[in-house]
Amino acid sequence: MKNTAVYPGTFDPVTNGHLDIIKRASEMFDTVIVAVLINRTKKPVFTTQERAAQIKACVKNFKNVKVDSFDGLLADYMRRKKAKVAIRGLRAVSDLEYEFQLAHTNRGLNKDMETVFLMPSAQYTYLTSTMVREVYGHGGKMQGMVPPRVERALLKLYKK
């Protein structure tokens, strides 16, 4: 039986912290699906297709990592993909309560689903996509916080 994990998120944009989690998850599971959420309550700066393409380019050397997108409930998506494990990153204690709520809600919706929490490497502990968008939106640069391809896309986007 294949051990498939899903790493869901908005990834707007994907950061080096996300890639750190993806790399470590790929070493733990047979298959990791990075699932880009189509979240109608957020106004992403990159389209779903752009976010998926950015991630695909960043993980092309990971043979067991796939990139997909989904709309709706993660619990339903996990059933469709026959995945049992959701990967979630925990950066700081402030993430814990929200992530526990999500994990318990998801398990209530899909009793076969487990959530595994991974902490990012220390240098990414406080890195968020929101922070990256804010910095680039005000003309700053966060070299080393996002992959070069994503940094170029952000610079282009915010020069408009």
CB 86 within 8 A of CB 21: no
121 among known catalytic residues = no
In the chain, how many domains are there? 1
What span, in angstroms and rounded, lies between the C-alpha atoms of 117 and 5?
12
Q: In this predicted model, what pLDDT tens digit does every residue of 82-131 receive, in sequence order? A: 999 999 999 888 788 999 999 999 999 999 999 999 999 999 988 899 99
Per-residue pLDDT averaged across 36-63, rounded?
94
Q: Give the mean pLDDT of the chain.
A: 93
The residue from 66, 81, 91, 107 that is catalytic is 91
Q: Model-level pTM?
A: 0.94
Q: What DSSP line would sit under 11-66, residue for residue?
A: -TT--HHHHHHHHHHHTTSSEEEEEEE--TTS--SS-HHHHHHHHHHHHTT-TTEE
Task: Give the pLDDT score at 74.
Answer: 97
Percent of the chain surpassing pLDDT 70: 99
Q: Enter the DSSP assignment of 159.
A: T
Tell me which of 42, 56, 60, 82 is the catalytic residue: 42
Active-site hit among 51, 84, 88, 129: 129
> Quick check: 1 pLDDT over 70?
no
Per the structure, the complete domain to which residue 107 belongs is given by: 4-158
Give the rounded distance of the alpha carbon of 8 from its chain centre.
Answer: 5
Residue 140 sits in a domain whose CATH number is 3.40.50.620
Is 26 part of the annotated catalytic residue set?
no
State residue 88's pLDDT score.
Answer: 96
- Residue 33 CB coordination number (10 Å): 21
Percent of the chain residues past pLDDT 90, beyond the cut = 77
For 26-54, what is the mean pLDDT?
Answer: 94
pLDDT band at 143 (very low <50, low <70, confident <90, very high): confident
| Residue 69 falls in the annotated catalytic set | no
Among residues 108, 63, 78, 107, which one has the least CA distance to residue 7? 78
Active site residue 129: yes
Q: What mean pLDDT is predicted for residues 125-141?
A: 88
Question: pLDDT value at position 160?
Answer: 58
